[in-house]
Homo-oligomer: A and B are copies of this chain.
Amino acid sequence: MEDVAREAGVSRALVSLVMRDSPKVSPAKRTAVLESAAALGYSPNRLASRLASHRTHTLGVLFLDLHNSVFADIHDGLSAGLAGSGNQVMVAVGSADPRTELEAVRSFVDLRVDGVILAGYTGTSEDLTAALRGTPGVVITRELEADGVDSVLTDDFRSGVLAVEHLYGLGHRRIAHVDISDWLPYTARREGYLHAMRQFGLEPQLVHSDMTERGGRAVMEQFLDSGAERPTAIFAHNDLTAIGVMEALAGRGLAVPSDVAIVGCDNIEFAASPLIGLTSIDQHARELGLVAAQAMLDRIAGTAGPAATRKLEPALMVRRSSDPAA
């Protein structure tokens, strides 16, 4: 920068202004600076500028799992929502391990990102607040009580209810739920399921899995082989699991939906594929990203209140896996 200034015959400050294209630089000097910068192959060290300016224009984003395309959809929404805001995104993957997740958040904070967005955080509110140290946060797919942390999600309880109501309406009475690990803070889908089952006077049946296709398949195979009475319908925690369940059923020669009807949750791209035809509860993933981006921008701009929750309404997408007519 020193060199560029000398070469262009101006001061370092002027170079700095040009680099940030400030309006208060004369066109002549501007081109002079730009030319010598090009000649010398100079580009500003952003580490230094960030350190000096206390602004990084970078947002840290944490995803639970890159293999679940619902996070790709959320990412699309975030990118779209952040486009033109001058912010860039730094992605980390947490793998459903609170330790890894918090490590990533701390890392973001140590780098002084302007904000942290978490899509699929599995730890506690206290740990997050501690790791954030006052950095603005937005949590997607979950409702969290924490100062300065907004929540953006789709109503998971309602999703569970929608699934059961749909299956009940089709005449099903033995409806099982493939749930996730007990310790995970994502309980609302299960609760919605349990609530609706009770409302209809039905006996709930829970099986635990791990949110993956492989997991859903394994748990279902095990279940089918156990000789337990088979449900006529299954509501799975997410689409990946639901697809795994469908694979297990196919492997045992059972037909979907005539032997067992399936409903997933998330409405990922593959669920909609005619090859799969999975009935699912749309979480509006892309819009979650969009809304979260806006919430973060508001929070950074200081125009946000203490901590808001934005909850979207889920939408039932009926397909072949629950209704052959669809």
Binding site for B on A (CB under 8 A): 41, 43-48, 50-51, 56, 66-67, 69, 71-72, 75, 79, 88-93, 106-107, 109-112, 133, 213, 243, 246-247, 250-251, 269-270, 273-276
A72 and B79 in contact, given A41-B133, A43-B133, A275-B247 (Cβ under 8 angstroms): no
- Given A66-B66, A66-B75, A213-B269: A43 and B275 within 8 A (CB)? no
Evaluate whether A43 and B106 lie within 8 angstroms (CB atoms) in the complex, with A75-B66, A75-B93, A91-B90 already known: yes
In the docked arrangement, what's the CA distance between A269 and B45, Å?
41
Nearest 7 CB-CB pairings of A with B: A91-B91, A66-B72, A46-B110, A67-B72, A47-B51, A90-B90, A247-B274
With a cutoff of 8 Å between Cβ atoms, the chain B residues found around residue A273 in the complex are 213, 243, 247
How many protomers of this protein does the assembly include?
A: 2
Min Cβ gap A255→B in Å is 13
A67-B69, A110-B43 as given contacts; A275 in contact with B276, CB under 8 Å: yes
Residues of the B chain whose Cβ atoms lie less than 8 Å from the Cβ of A92: 88-89, 91
Cα distance A48–B52 when bound, in Å? 9
Which of B50, B69, B275 sits near A250, CB closer than 8 Å? B275
Are B45 and A47 within 8 A (Cβ)? no
Contact B112 A45 (CB under 8 A): yes
Q: What residue of chain B has the Cβ atom nearest to residue A88's Cβ?
A: B107
Distance in Å: Cβ of A274 to nearest Cβ of chain B: 5
A47-B50, A90-B90, A247-B273 are known; give 8 further A-B pairs, CB within 8 A. A43-B109, A43-B110, A45-B110, A66-B69, A75-B93, A88-B92, A213-B269, A275-B275
Which chain B residues lie closer than 8 Å to A91 at the CB level? Answer: 90-92
